[in-house]
Structure 1
Amino acid sequence: MSDADLHEGLEDAPCLNRMKIMGALMNPIFQSKKRMIAAGLCTDSQYNAGEVELLDLMTEFYARQEGNDNVVVISVDATPNEWVDNDDDDDEDLTSPARRLAEGEWKKFRKSYKNFDTLPEVEPVDVLGGHDSEGQPKPSPILAIGPDQKRGKDLPSMCNHADYVGSRGYYDLTQFMIDHKRELPSLSNTFLGKLAPYATSESD
Structure 2
Amino acid sequence: MTDELVSHQQRAQKLYANGNYQAALDEYTVLRKLRASADGKESLSYLSNLHSSIYCLNHLQQWDEAVELARELSTTRDRILGKEDSASIDAKRWWIWMCTKTGDLARASDLEIEIADVLYSTGDTKGAERAVATAVFYQGRSRDSSADQAASAVTEAAATTTNAAKIRSVIKKAAPQVFMAGVVATFEGIVGGIFD
| TM-score normalised by structure 2 residue count | 0.32
Give the number of the structure whose residues are more often strand, by fraction: 1
TM-score by length of 1: 0.31
Which structure's relative contact order is higher, taking Cα pairs within 8 Å and 6+ residues apart? 1
